[in-house]
Each structure stands twice: as C-alpha cells, then as structure tokens.
Chains A and B, each alone.
Chain A
Amino acid sequence: MHELGIVKHVIRTLHDVAEENGVSRIGSVTLEVGEVSGVVLEQLVDCWNYFREKDDLVRGAPLFVETIEAVTFCTACEKTYGTVAHGKTCPFCGSGETYLLTGSEFSIKQIEAE
C-alpha cells in the first residue's frame, strides 16, 4: 500500500524537523495534498492513526489535510480547466497539449510543536 510508505516517510521527516528545532512532542500535523497526487486520504489517515501510537514524538497527534485543486493549462488555447473533470484533454479546444499547473502536491505544510 502506497500510503503506508508515505506515512513512514512523513514521520521520518518529522523526526528530522523536531531535532533541528529542538521539539520533543508534536501536537498536530497539517499536510497539503493535491487532488491528483494519487494518495487515498482515508487510507492515509488510517495509516497515520496506526503509526502515531507507535511513536513518542507524534503520539495522539491529529493529522489535518488541506486539499489543493488540480488545474491543467492548455498550451493550444491558453485556458485552464479542472483536471479531475477533464483529464489531459482540453474541454475548450480538444487539444492534448496540456500540462498540470497544480494538484500533484504532497507536502508537510506545518506542525504544532508542544
């Protein structure tokens, strides 16, 4: 499962951050996740809730997720459109010469340190 590995990476990164900032306990974690990042949020939260109880740094800390809308740009007609509804093909002109502007993000936005 993809989310299992991601949660392990998040926790590893949080340990690095905690050490750099002299933090011994994290109260909450906020992630920014793009709509087409490929992460299943329900599974991500399940994995988080499992692993946070095995780690003193993040024990009991809630995980907040802010979703970032996926937007694609069409290089043919220079319009933008919602990626989730239309995919790679521009709904205005039918061109496939498009690229993703936002929506693939997966980052740790902030933590609350106790």
Chain B
Amino acid sequence: MKVIELKMTVTDSNDRDAETLRRELGERGIFLINLMSAPGSGKTTLISRTITDLAGRAKIAVMEADIASDVDAERISALGAESIQVHTDGMCHMDAGMTRAGLDGMDFSGGEIVFLENVGNLICPAEFDTGAHRNVMILSVPEGDDKPLKYPLMFQTSDALVITKMDAAPYFDFDLGAVIRRAKALNPGIRIFPVSAKTGEGMSEWESYILSEREDG
C-alpha cells in the first residue's frame, strides 16, 4: 500500500467551489452577501427593512438557510421579494455547494443583490466560504458587547459588522465603544454600522454601504 502525503486543509475543495461561484455570479451581475449571526439577532427584520427602504433602487433577493422550517422565507416573500428557503438537514453552516444549489432554484433577471441568511450560529459559518462577495456579521445589542472576545474568527472573516436593536441600548449594559474597539483589534478594516430596523436609525448608512460595495464588485 502506497502512502500519499497531503497536508491539505479539509476545506480545500470548498474553497475552490466558492471561488468559482463568486466569479460566475460576478459575471451574471449578481452580488451575494453572506449574513451571519447568532439566532435571534434580528437578521430577517434587518433584511425586511432594507428591502422596503431600497425599493425602486435595488432588486433584492433572499436565500434563507435554516436547519428546518420556512417561517423566515414567508416573511420575506410577503414583501414581494424573490426568496428561497434552503434546509441544511441538520448541518450547522452553509457551504459553497449548498449555496449554489439554492441559487439555482431562484429566478434572477440580472443585477440582483442576494442576501444569504446563513444558519444562526457564530462558529462554523465563519469557517466555510459560501462564495459570497461580502461577509457581514450581525450582532444585536442584547447579546452583549463581549461577543468579539468569544467568537474572534467571525469578526476576523467579516467585511462589515451591523449592530442591530440599537433602540434597546438604554436597557442593556451595552458599551458600543467597547464593541468597536474589540472588533477593530481583531480586524482593523471592518466597517461597523449601528442600526435600529425599528426606528430607522443608521439604516441609510448601511444601505449606502451595500450599494457602493456592489459597484466595487
């Protein structure tokens, strides 16, 4: 029996698939944003508000990834946006192959911004490239300002951090300055957007960011 030395990281095959998917989507004019967060951070509410605010300025489609159920996709399609529900069958993250399969089930006319709402989890989604053009982490005020200390990889792999439920900040011991400092220590280039999808605070900065990043590709 012959021994073959490999020293390959386990995610090698996924990394290749992700690069291919990212390039193909770019060629079709589709901009994919991977949204990652803990469960209950307000991802679907943030997406809903963004769809409403950008109506007429951007075509937004949404891929909801969950272990089971389709409650999130129902909320999105109620807004008239193209959406699909992907079930991961127990898997705790989306990979490039699953993302491709989900996108294949959607109708695009070109120029869409697609939000991939990843499985609610701050660990494994950070380890698997989905093929997205940007990775965005969502952190809600009630989760606390110490999250960067607990889940450093998520902060390191994200291009932007959206801090949601800012309207609830007065009721929690949430130090926005501490989050910004801790996140920047892990990832100096990370863009940070404190928002409230309820009051609209900070939403226009977040939406301008999406539109300008799409121009950059």
Which residues of A does B touch, CB under 8 Å?
A: 1-2, 4-6, 9-10, 12-13, 16-17, 21, 23, 27, 31, 38, 88, 106-114
Chain B contact residues, CB within 8 Å of chain A: 1-14, 90-93, 95, 123-124, 128, 149
Q: How far is the CA of A57 from the CA of B14 in the complex (A)?
A: 19
> Would you call A112 and B95 a contact (CB within 8 A)?
no
Report which residue of A12, A109, A113, A114 has the largest number of chain B beta carbons within 10 angstroms of its beta carbon.
Answer: A12
Do A110 and B3 touch (CB < 8 A)? yes
A38 CA to B128 CA, complexed, in Å = 14
Shortest 9 CB-CB distances between A and B: which pairs?
A: A13-B13, A12-B13, A112-B1, A5-B91, A108-B6, A113-B2, A110-B5, A107-B9, A108-B8
A17 contacts B92, CB within 8 Å?
A: no
Secondary structure call for the B interface: mixed
Which A residues touch B4, using CB under 8 A? Answer: 17, 21, 23, 110-113
Q: Does the CB pair A27–B1 fall under 8 Å?
A: yes
B91 contacts A109, C-beta separation under 8 Å: no
Q: Which residues of B contact A13 (CB under 8 A)?
A: 8, 10, 12-13
Return the chain A residue nearest B121 by Cβ: A2
Give the residues in chain B near A10, CB-CB below 8 Å. 10
Chain B residue at minimum C-beta to C-beta distance from A3: B92
In the bound complex, how far is the Cα of B124 from the Cα of A31, in angstroms? 19
Q: A40: shortest Cβ distance to chain B, in Å? A: 12
- Of the candidates B6, B10, B90, B92, the one whose C-beta lies within 8 Å of that of A106 is B10
Bound-state CA distance A110–B3 (Å) is 7
Decide if B14 touches A9 in the complex (CB within 8 Å): yes
Q: Is A111 a contact partner of B6 (Cβ separation < 8 A)?
A: yes
A-B contact pairs, 12 of them (CB 8 A): A4-B91, A13-B12, A16-B13, A17-B8, A21-B4, A23-B4, A88-B149, A109-B6, A109-B7, A110-B6, A112-B2, A113-B1
